[in-house]
Structures are given as structure tokens and as C-alpha cells.
Structure 1
Amino acid sequence: MCGITARVGTEDASESLVCSLENLEYRGYDSAGIAVKNGTGLKIQKREGEVSELKAAMAGSGIVGDVGIGHTRWSTHGPPTNENAHPHVDCSGRVAVVHNGIVENHAELRRDLEARGHTFRSDTDTEVVPHLVEERLDAGDDSETAFRAAIDELEGSYALAMLHEDADTVFATRTGSPLVLGIGEDANYLASDVPAFLEFTSRVVYLEDGDVAVLSADDYRITDADGFEVSRPVEAVDWAAEDAGKGEYDHYMLKEIHEQPTSLRQTIQGRLDGDDVVLSEFPAGSFSEVSRVHFVACGTSYHAGLYGESLFADWDVDAQTFLASEYAAHPPAVPEDTLVVGITQSGETADTLAALEAAADAGARTLALTNVVGSTAARECDDALFIRAGPEIGVAATKTFSSQVATLVCLGERIARDVTGSPTPDHAARLDALADLPEHVEAVLESSTAADVAARHAHESGHFFIGRGSAYAVALEAALKFKEITYEHAEGFAAGELKHGPLALVTADTPVFAICNGNNEAKLASNVREVQTRGGPVVGVCPRTSDALADAADEVLTVPATHPDLVAILANVQLQLVAYHAANDLGRPIDKPRNLAKSVTVE
């Protein structure tokens, strides 16, 4: 959701704070602001709109300081206005705070503070924090004691960073929202996510729930909720700074679509050994006690789970996919021999974390399938398996979906061998195809005519995507991607369900994208004719060898012929390109779709 950052050094922090906020805009871009301490009090600049608006306002403003905090906002409490932009201050302007998350008891705290004479300037839940700190300072507490006393009164999910005009430090804490320290040579950093400061340092410390960090220019100290000093490991992030930039591409999304061959190579590296899967985290027998698998996830990760479920079913592994928010609210029966796999790119998705917690409380074994090594999910689950896709900045997930599915193929092979006692059917051919997947994605990217297809169909009134099995999961994902960035109506359906209702929506202005994974081709071709009979244009997305669908469709986007279990990954790349080019033709802000943020850290 929101992104927070901080820097403490011996030189001006304002420029690097703005740079970090630009790197964090995928977490929110409704408004942005910074606060710096320069020896004469706190100086604050904040603006409604994107970070570029803040940057323009700061030009020539003379705002400098060697200690500072920053924020880019995804609105929850109060509309995106200058007044609601962070940082927020107390009545006297001595304290400034930035916040990611939700203070659930803010209304009660606000009423009490107003009754005691405090004046509020915003509609946000965050503003209670500096006023709580102010009261403790007025009572004689030092900065850190006042900060601790304030956070003790908060309920909810939050990551906070605070400046006080009399302290050359930044105070920070987290409970349920991510926060990571960056340890530099001549400055120390703080942010919601590593890409914020990746060009300044690659040495990081992941804070845990309840941690309180105090950062100075040349040191940092971490204590737990009770004030006892704790040690958290310093880790080296193996992402390069350029990995988090756009490079030669107009948008992060297009860059990340084209990074899929690289991300897939990273995903499968060292995990394939001929006709066997080698997962160092899970040697043979690791899942011998598992009888069923529950996938819990949200959005694109949920579709990856559905893809995995369709494969696991073919391999005699009992698997079911749940929306994490529903799983947490209404947990199903979870016998002790259940493995609950939380699929989450960031490892910080609040609904998925809640679902994993519910599963653990029920006695299930939990596994995080994530992209971020130090994430909450990776730390709190019994096990973790990393997709190794590299940083993904675009709000619309692309390369992480393909890496999630590829990782699920490896995990499924390991689980199936442990559960059934033998490899999956056709495993050698599938694993050979998985090894070839990066080259097959490159072939799609080099030969795709998706831009032409998008130009013909971008302006039509609705867009439908259909498929069966793994192709149904991709139909849902393709529709999500299309609606996320084009703002046009799009829906995904199981192909066999068309005649049970959705066919009523088909007109000459509603193109249908029919996705074939190499299985059930004749049935899908029949569904295509059902659409055409009602006047709907059909775009087939299929292997080059799928003659039946190619003959039935009005136009075709082809992918290399490979193992049927992997074809839909290639089809998804074509449909990512369709969505991208349609959004570009429509003039949409592709990397910053309205109302959305990359990492959803509130329920």
C-alpha cells in the first residue's frame, strides 16, 4: 500500500528521499511528502498527486537536512489532498510521522486527543501518532520513550517512522506491515521495500513485528517491544540497482514482460537434474506426511494457485485453491496432514498472512511461496520456497506469475513423488519442457503480433477470455491484467460455462480470446463456434500445432508447441502483451493504474 522511507547521514537527505519515493511509487501515488531536520526545526513539503508534483514543489524551496523521512500514499482514510498527505505533525510542529497500514482504534484516540485540546488538520488515521508523542514529550519523556509510549496505544497494522526536532535520529517500528533497514557506508536508510534504497546500498536488515529501530548516521539499534536489544541478521540483496529501473523501456510493465526469460532461468536454476527435481529446501521425503494441499492467495497469485491446482489434480495430489481473504474469514476444515501454501509475491500480503495464520492455528503445516527472502511470510511459515524472479515494480504482476507457476511445477513434482511414491505421469517430457521454457518465452516475445491484435480490439465494449484447466486459470489472469491497466470491461470464464450464461454477453463488439493449452482442443473449437454464431469475433491463443482452433478462430496468436502443462504460461505472455498494448493505445497510466497499489498490506 503506502510507501515510507527515511535517511540519516551527514549530507542533505532531501534528494535521496525523493529518489526513494520515486522507487516506491508502485506502493501508492495519491500524494507524497518529506520532512527533514536541518538544525532549525523540521521542514516539510507535501503535495497531492504523484512524486513528480512533490519534486516540482521542492525545486528552489531550500528544503535541506541531513535527517529525513518520506512517504508516498495509497489512500485509505481521507481523500488524496495536500492536507491528508504525509508526513503528519503534532500541534507544535516538533514531531513528524509517516505511516503505512491502518490504525484501527484511531477514531477513539482522536476523540480523546481532541477532548484534551489537540487540533487535527487531516482526515487520516496516522495523525493521532504525532499527537500521542507530543503528550509524552510534554510530560517529560525523551524522544524514544515518547515514541514507544505512543505505539503502545495503537491497534492495527502499521509501519511507522518518526522525526523529532531535537534528535539526530529516526525512530521506526513495524507491526503487520513491512519495514527494512538499509545499512550504508556513510548513511543509513529505512523503507517499506528494498528497491527504495537499492542504488545506495544492498545490505539490509529485515525488521520483525514489534521491533523498534533507532537509526543514526553511523549506527543503528533494534529493540523488541519490551525494550530489550535484539540482533537481526544483515543480509546482502543480490538485486542490482538497474534491476529496479525501467532501462530502455517506456514502462516497468513492458520491461518486466520482457524479463521473463531471465526470471524463469533464475527460477529453475539448479532445480532440474535430468528427469528429477532438486529442491535443496525439500529433499526426498519432505512431504511424505502430506495428504492434501491448500493454496491461499490473492489476485494474480490466486490465479497461479488455480494453475497449480489443475496440475496437481492430474498428478493425484489432492489440492484446492482458496481466496486468502475468504480462507481467513471462514477457514475450512484443515486436518493436521494438510500443507497450506501461501502464494504471495511480496510475502507481505495482509490477507494471505491472515490465512496462513489461521491455517497454523488449525495445526496445518505452512509454506510460503514468495519472491522476497526476508518477508513476513518467509519468516513466519514453517517452510519457504522462493520464486527468484527478481524485483517487480509494475503494479500489474507479470514475470512473477510465470515464475510462480514454474516453481509450482517443481514443488508439485516433489510433493507427488513423496505422496504417491512415484514420479508424475510424463514427468521427463514436462521437465525437459520446463528447461526450455525461457527460450520459448523469448520466441513469443520476438514474434508476437499482440500489438496489432490490441489495436483492433482495444476500443470494443467488452473483452472475454476462455479456457479449460490451466488455460482457465490464465483466462482469469488475462482478464485481470486487461481490466487493471486498460480500465475496460474484461471477464474470464471456463470455456464450458459459456453456454450456461456468459454467452448472453457476446456481441459483435465483444472479442473472445480462446486459450488452448493443447488439451481439449476440439471442445474449445466448439465453444469458439458458439461465439461466432452469435457474431462475436474470436482470437485464438494456442500452440502452432493446434490446427482445429487455428481454423476455427478469426485470428490467432501462436506460441511454441511444448508440453501441455506449460503452454498456458506462454499464452499468458501473449495476453500480457495484448493488455499492455491496448492500455498504451488507450493512453492509460500503465505502471500506475488508478486505485491500485502493488503490495496490499491491509485487510
Structure 2
Amino acid sequence: MCGIFGVVAKEGNVAEKLLTIGKRLAYRGYDSAGLALYNDGNIDLRKGVGTIESVTENLKLKEMVGKIGLGQLRWSTFGRPSKINAQPHFDCDGDMVGAHNGNIVSFHRTKEQLENEGHTIRSLNDGEICVHATEKHYDKTKDMIKGLMEGVKEMEGAFAFICFHKDHPDTLYAIKMGSSLVLGIGEGENYIASDLPSILPLTNKFVPLNDGEIIEVTATSYKIYNAEDGSEIHRKPRITDLSAEEAVKGSYDYFLTKEIHEQVDATEKLAFGLESDVLDEIVNKLSEANVAFLVGCGSSFNACNVGSYYLNNLAGIIAFPVIGGRFFEEYKNYQPDDKTVLLCVSQSGETKDIINTINFAKPKGYHILGMVNVPGSTVERLSEAYAYIGAGIERSVPATKTYTNQVLLFLILAARIGYKRGRITKEEYEQLKAEIHNLSALVKQTIEESIPKAKKLAKELVKTNAMSLLGYGITHGVAMEGALKIREINYISAEAMYSSEFKHGPLSIVENGYPVIYVVAPNDKYYVISHVSEVECRDGRPIVVGEHIDGLDKHVKEGDYFEIPKSSQLISPILAAIPLQLLALYMSIERGIDPDYPRNLSKTLTVD
């Protein structure tokens, strides 16, 4: 999604710092970029279509001068990619400039209303509506807070908006109304941005912001106001231990390659959650539940599918994985009791479909729990209890280490709850603890052993336009995740389904050489051997990801068996995702596609 950002400093020039933040927001996905800085009575606005690097070079953004400025990376929703639709935007007379992230769903109605009142709206981009709606009420009151308070009433949608005005040349203003926004606190300068990782090169001190809040920021101070009644809200800064260095490629060609390898350290760190009291609150809340809805989108939903297996089988909690945007349609008539939990899984903690679900479910009496990666996120703040997956910053659009740590955290929670409830013995719990603490070594081994096989298979599949990925039981969610990885960075049809369902129709697609990837857990070998045979005898190309299984290898040609290290039914699915991540990566490289930034996609989805 779009990214907005601003810097106000006591001394010096903010252009370089704006570009630093902007480049760190590029992973969210965008098609145009722009900056606006105030200097000596003038607002210098430069914007264009292209990457932030190309726009910087073409429009000489580094040469812009000013102690206050803002910028935006635009991912098109209203108005095609063009210079006129790029943000930031001026108001009618060029005294104010602003940019937004999100969607103004009342765009056409509000635009017509403002134009009828005499406003000159130059673009087809809904972000410009935010500027003119604020201008309308500022011109009446000469008060920016009131301008924002009344301006948002003109619009419907979910968004965040940042602006500054010539009348107040040392102050940034912003409002959060459904899209992510964070305030960063520096030394003699302050920052506003769409997410926390983007400002880490400049500060580790931040103030989380809630929907319905207005922020007034100078170089040395900040104030937060309630957007409904204008009352001031007092909130102290927090310190994050996220590292800016995590968001640098280092010696790797792609962030995706780096983040696949970082799963070794990420799983090792998270494994200590087994003994940590940090998880006590969420463990206690979940332990009291009889029913848990696990809500996620994309990779987080796939992790929920594996997590439901853990919670049902280890913890004895009836758990249902649900797509974020589907929950309030499918379960709108469900009546929760005091033992019903909604566990919301979101890497960013800002996923709009998840926040919509929370806003729907909370008034109905669901207990809201969160599983997030980014501190201070909206999902965290809306949850009764939450847990961090501790994966660190993930820049590549495709999820890898965040997915893996989500699955691992589900296993840790299920193990602790199962032991707490007496569903697994102390001996079983200690055995599982040992397996979890050994996981990072198995992750490293899996990566090292899978790379040459993934590279070879990627070359062979480079012209393939369709394939199927099948999982059975606990590996169904893994097959879904593998299919998503292949689809999103290779632009081909990769369909995932439950292995035993393949013969109920989809088997008709199999022809000579058609690839069908089976993700196999140790206990499911007899079922899967039968399923693999169905494809083999029809001249398809079965490919297996899993531990070595005697007999199964006879149905697969040499080089088409990704053997992962021997582990257990509960650990194996975590390892099985890694060869699929690597296959997707190397297929993408073979096709000449940048795996970090696939077309049309955004890392953080903050619109409906």
C-alpha cells in the first residue's frame, strides 16, 4: 500500500532523511513517488511516476531544501499512475500540501461537492480530496486542528493523512483514520511515517497512534488530539529493539534470499518462548478458551491453517482458521460466549481486513488476542493479550521468516497450553521442547540441502505456467503457503488443495509432465503414496517435499524428491515450507522477475 512520511527539524535539511524513510517504505509496493519541502516562504513540490530512485534522479530530489517536508509513495487505487495523480498534492492556492495512505471511498461524491463549492481539484486521486477538505475548514477557522477535525467529516474511508501549511512553517500535522501511522521522536527533529521500521535508521523511540487521533508535531515537541472532540491525549514514547540493520540486504542479491536464511536465527530466538513469562498472558487467555477463531490474510492465514492443527490436537481447543475478510460474513450470526477467542494474526499488525474483523467482533463479546511482528501496531493495541513472533524486519513482499515464526509460535502456544491442561504428559512436553530448541539447526540443514535441488528444478520448470500443490492433514496449510509463494513472484497459476480432494475433479488437469507437488508429513505416508500414484500413472510429474519415506521414492523421478531432515509430525511442516520458498525464489530469478517486489502487490494491505 501507499506510504506517507514527514520530517521536521530544528536545524539542517530534511530531504535526505525523507528519502531514507521513503526507501524503507518501498517494500509496501508503489508506482510513483514525490516530496514537498518548505523553505523561505515557498513550498517546493516534486513528484513523478517510477521508483523512488528514478524519481530522485530525474527530479533532483536530493537538491531540495527545507527544515520541514513530507513525501509519499503511491500504490494506485483511484486514478491511474501518472504525474498528476502522484502525491503529495497542493490545496487550491498552494499554501498547503499533503498526502495520504488508504482509500477515500466517498471520492466521487466528495470531489463533486468540493468542486461545487469552488475548489480546483486537479487529479483523479483520492488523496487530493484530503487536502481540499482540510483547506475548506482551515480557511474558515485558521486552525489546523479544527481543519482536520471537520475535514474528515467530509470523507468516508480508511486512511491516514499528513500535511503542512505555510501559515505554520515549523509544524507537521497528521490524522489516523484506519490506516497505519507512527510518530518517531529524534534529537531536535521528529518524524511521521506509515510504519515503524521505516524510521529505524533515524530513531528507535516512537509513539504509537490510534485511529481517530490528530498529531501536531514540531522539531522538539508533539501533541495528540482526539479527532472527535479536540481534547488532548497524553502518551509517552516507547523504545523498540528492532534493528535498522535487519532491513539491509548485506551480501545477498535479494531481501528474499536473506530472509530465507534468517529463519535460522529467527526460529532459534523464538524457541526460548517456551520458557519465557512473556507469553504467560496469552497462554492463560487461550487456555480458558473452548473455541478459537484464527483469523489471518495471505501467509498469515496459511499459518493459521497449520496452527489450527496444533491447537486442536495438542491443546484441545476447537480452532477454526478463517480468512480475515470472510469472518464477519460467515460468522455474523454466531453467538460467542465467555470462552470464545478471536486470535488475530498479522505480520504488520495493520492489515485492514483484520482490523475490520476486530471492530466487528469486539462489541459482540469475543476475547481478542493478537499475534504480530511489529511493536505498537493497531492489532496489538486492540488485543487483550498479544504475542510477538520476533522475526525481525521483513522487507521482501513475500513472507518467509514471518510465516515460519507464526507457525512456530502456534506450536509453542499449543504445547504450553496442552501441558497446562494436562493433555500432554511432562515427558511428552519435555520431548517437544527439545525438538523446538533443535529446530533452528534443522532449518539451517534444510536450507543448505534444498538450495541445489531448488535451483535445478527451477530451471526445469521455468516455462511451466501451471502446477498444483497438495497437502494432507497438517501439511495442507504448507501447500497453500508454497502455492502462494510461487504465484506471487512467478505470475503463474499454482493451485493448492487438500490431497485427497485432487481426485474429485482437478485430476482432469493432469497431462504429460504436469507438475504436482506433494507436501508430506511422516505419519501420512500411506495416504500420500496412493495420491502420488494417481498422478504418476497419468504421466504427470509428482514432486515430493518431506522426509524420506520408503516406497514413496519409487513413484518420483530422481531429483524430484526434496528430502528434509528427519524430525516429527509436528516439526516436519515447519521445515517443509523452506524448499517451497527456495523453489519460488529461484523460479522467479530464472524468469527475470524481481522476487522482492512482484508487480501489483503490497507488503502491508491497509485498504479494504
Query: TM-score when scaled to structure 1?
Result: 0.95
1:262 positional shift: 1.1
1:583 positional shift: 0.3
Read off the aligned partner of 1:387 and give its amino acid letter. I
1:187 positional shift: 1.4
Partner of 2:579: 574
| Contact map agreement 2:164 2:172 (CA 8 A) in 1 | yes
Whether 1:250 and 2:253 are equivalent positions in the alignment is: yes
Partner of 1:281: 280
Cα displacement string for residues 546-600 of structure 1 (whole angstroms, at most 9, x for unaligned residues): 2232232222111111111111111101110000000011011211111110111
Q: Distance in 1 between matches of 2:552 and 2:206?
A: 51
Q: How large is the RMSD of aligned CA atoms in angstroms?
A: 1.9
| Contact map agreement 2:148 2:175 (CA 8 A) in 1 | no
Q: Distance in 2 between matches of 1:461 and 1:20?
A: 37
Q: Residues 252 and 518 (structure 1 numbering): CA distance in 2 closer, same or farther, change over 3 Å?
A: same
Partner of 2:112: 111
Whether 1:534 and 2:534 are equivalent positions in the alignment is: no
Read off the aligned partner of 1:341 and give its amino acid letter. L
Q: Which moved more, 1:22-31 or 1:284-293?
A: 284-293
Q: Distance in 2 between matches of 1:350 and 1:135?
A: 29
| Contact map agreement 2:88 2:98 (CA 8 A) in 1 | yes
Partner of 1:461: 465
Q: Distance in 1 between matches of 2:241 and 2:232?
A: 28
Cα displacement string for residues 154-190 of structure 1 (whole angstroms, at most 9, x for unaligned residues): 3221111002123211101102111111111131111
Read off the aligned partner of 2:230 and give its amino acid letter. G
Read off the aligned partner of 1:404 and give its amino acid letter. Q
Aligned to 2:543, what secondary structure does the other structure show?
strand
Partner of 1:480: 484
1:458 positional shift: 2.4
Read off the aligned partner of 2:328 and give its amino acid letter. A
Q: Given the alignment, which residue of 166, 173, 176 partners 2:175?
A: 173
Read off the aligned partner of 1:458 and give its amino acid letter. V
1:387 positional shift: 0.7
Q: Residues 422 and 527 (structure 1 numbering): CA distance in 2 closer, same or farther, change over 3 Å?
A: closer
Partner of 2:317: 317
1:500 positional shift: 0.8
Q: Residues 355 and 548 (structure 1 numbering): CA distance in 2 closer, same or farther, change over 3 Å?
A: farther
| Contact map agreement 2:175 2:213 (CA 8 A) in 1 | yes
1:62 positional shift: 3.9
1:23 positional shift: 0.6
Partner of 2:327: 327
Q: Distance in 2 between matches of 1:192 and 1:308?
A: 29
Aligned to 1:400, what secondary structure does the other structure show?
helix
| Contact map agreement 2:216 2:222 (CA 8 A) in 1 | yes
Partner of 1:227: 230
1:7 positional shift: 0.5
Whether 1:236 and 2:235 are equivalent positions in the alignment is: no
Q: Residues 61 and 288 (structure 1 numbering): CA distance in 2 closer, same or farther, change over 3 Å?
A: closer
After TM superposition, the structure 1 = structure 2 runs for residues 287-298 of structure 1, keeping only pairs within 5 Å, are 287-298=286-297
Q: Distance in 1 between matches of 2:408 and 2:206?
A: 28
Partner of 1:522: 526
Q: Residues 529 and 288 (structure 1 numbering): CA distance in 2 closer, same or farther, change over 3 Å?
A: closer
Q: Distance in 1 between matches of 2:195 and 2:403?
A: 20
1:419 positional shift: 5.0
Q: Distance in 2 between matches of 1:135 and 1:353?
A: 30
Q: Distance in 2 between matches of 1:11 and 1:171?
A: 20
Read off the aligned partner of 2:568 and give its amino acid letter. H
Read off the aligned partner of 1:170 and give its amino acid letter. L
Cα displacement string for residues 96-115 of structure 1 (whole angstroms, at most 9, x for unaligned residues): 11101112322222111111
Cα displacement string for residues 67-105 of structure 1 (whole angstroms, at most 9, x for unaligned residues): 000111111111111111110111211111110111232
Partner of 1:100: 101
| Contact map agreement 1:440 1:560 (CA 8 A) in 2 | yes
Q: Which moved more, 1:396-405 or 1:212-221?
A: 212-221
Whether 1:49 and 2:70 are equivalent positions in the alignment is: no
Q: Residues 102 and 456 (structure 1 numbering): CA distance in 2 closer, same or farther, change over 3 Å?
A: same
Q: Residues 59 and 480 (structure 1 numbering): CA distance in 2 closer, same or farther, change over 3 Å?
A: same
1:516 positional shift: 1.0
Q: Which moved more, 1:104-113 or 1:419-428?
A: 419-428
Aligned to 1:217, what secondary structure does the other structure show?
coil
Q: Residues 430 and 418 (structure 1 numbering): CA distance in 2 closer, same or farther, change over 3 Å?
A: closer
Aligned to 1:162, what secondary structure does the other structure show?
strand
Whether 1:23 and 2:24 are equivalent positions in the alignment is: yes
Partner of 1:182: 184
1:508 positional shift: 2.5
Cα displacement string for residues 307-336 of structure 1 (whole angstroms, at most 9, x for unaligned residues): 011222323321111111010233251421
Q: Distance in 2 between matches of 1:80 and 1:328?
A: 33
1:278 positional shift: 5.5
Q: Residues 424 and 579 (structure 1 numbering): CA distance in 2 closer, same or farther, change over 3 Å?
A: farther
1:211 positional shift: 1.6
Whether 1:565 and 2:591 are equivalent positions in the alignment is: no
Q: Distance in 2 between matches of 1:599 and 1:186?
A: 30
Query: TM-score when scaled to structure 2?
Result: 0.95
Q: Distance in 1 between matches of 2:378 and 2:588?
A: 33
Partner of 1:146: 147
| Contact map agreement 2:100 2:130 (CA 8 A) in 1 | no
Partner of 2:156: 155
Partner of 1:597: 602
| Contact map agreement 1:179 1:192 (CA 8 A) in 2 | yes
Partner of 2:405: 403
1:41 positional shift: 1.4
| Contact map agreement 1:281 1:385 (CA 8 A) in 2 | no
Q: Distance in 2 between matches of 1:460 and 1:424?
A: 49
Q: Distance in 2 between matches of 1:286 and 1:137?
A: 47
Whether 1:359 and 2:338 are equivalent positions in the alignment is: no
Whether 1:470 and 2:470 are equivalent positions in the alignment is: no
Aligned length: 598
Q: Distance in 1 between matches of 2:195 and 2:442?
A: 32
Q: Given the alignment, which residue of 330, 340, 343 partners 1:341?
A: 343
Partner of 1:34: 35
| Contact map agreement 1:514 1:541 (CA 8 A) in 2 | yes
1:117 positional shift: 1.8
1:145 positional shift: 3.1
Q: Distance in 2 between matches of 1:293 and 1:420?
A: 19
Read off the aligned partner of 1:531 and give its amino acid letter. V
Read off the aligned partner of 2:188 and give its amino acid letter. D
Aligned to 1:547, what secondary structure does the other structure show?
coil
Q: Which moved more, 1:58-67 or 1:398-407?
A: 58-67
Structure 2 unaligned runs (5+)?
none
Aligned to 1:520, what secondary structure does the other structure show?
helix
Q: Residues 105 and 139 (structure 1 numbering): CA distance in 2 closer, same or farther, change over 3 Å?
A: same
1:284 positional shift: 7.2
Cα displacement string for residues 356-391 of structure 1 (whole angstroms, at most 9, x for unaligned residues): 222222211110111122111111111111111111
